[in-house]
Amino acid sequence: MRLSGQTIIITGASSGIGAEAARKMARLGATVCLLARREDELESVRTEIEEAGGVAHAYAVDLADAQAADAVAARLLADHPRIDALVNNAGRSIRRPIKDSVDRVHDYERTMAINYFGALRLTLAMVPRFLQQGHGHVVISSSMSTQVPIPLFSAYLASKAALESFTRSLTAELGHQGMTSTVVYFPMVRTEMSGATQIYQAMPMLSADKAANWLVKAVVDKPTRVSSLPGAMGELGMAALPGVVTRVSQPLFRRMDKSLARRSKD
């Protein structure tokens, strides 16, 4: 029971990676606070955890709504005298070429609203409690695609990069007062979000169950990052030879998309 006595907040917990991570953390003894928009699905996850002997609390909220995000943060702080970790897992993704986005600034705004500002509001609300306790861990679900130059996801990746930078600054400023953080760089994961793109049905992906283990590791072990080997190698390549890596990767991604498109029709 490595998380016994700890209270963990998990956003995006009504399905996919967030729901699986909540189940696993509850089995490790944590009290899990489940946040997501879909109340029925959220209650289903809470009930399942409690029937298995765990402790869970459900908070239905749209974190893209600033007032709702502030209100749920206040409820969490009032309901739980101790909060040990916040897992910013909720998010949305848009797959669209930049040339098709020149008159769609709202795509970037709505992606930032949940992926960055929603997570930011919740994190900032927890900072005083974490400092008062002398400890607090922030985990963010990011993407391997921020480690290498990936096309077609500019809105999504910009929002994740912004959250990564904020999280690094958080630890740089407050690490000496007990604040720690982990960035989890997921590869493609088989979830509702990835399933919305038809060609990705033919792409090998990490299961939500295995991806949830990455979040559990982030909470239990508190490493600075959790990454795949290809992601880490891509990041090193971008640090050393960004121009070369970008030029070499461009035709590879174009060929991959064409291959996936063909396979998805078979």
Catalytic residue set: 156
- Residue type (1 letter), 133: Q
Residues contacting 58, CB < 8 A, separation 6+: 34, 39, 42, 43, 45, 46
Element (H or E) spanning 221, and its range? helix 208-221
Half-sphere exposure of 192 (CA within 13 A, CB side): 11
Residues contacting 196, CB < 8 A, separation 6+: none
Contact call for residues 61 and 37 (beta carbons, < 8 A): yes
Element (H or E) spanning 213, and its range? helix 208-221
Alpha-carbon separation of residue 163 from 15, 181, 182 (angstroms): 22, 12, 12
Alpha-carbon separation of residue 149 from 81, 182, 199, 235 (angstroms): 42, 22, 20, 9
**Parallel/antiparallel/unpaired status of strands 189-190 and 206-207:** parallel
Residues contacting 97, CB < 8 A, separation 6+: 151, 152
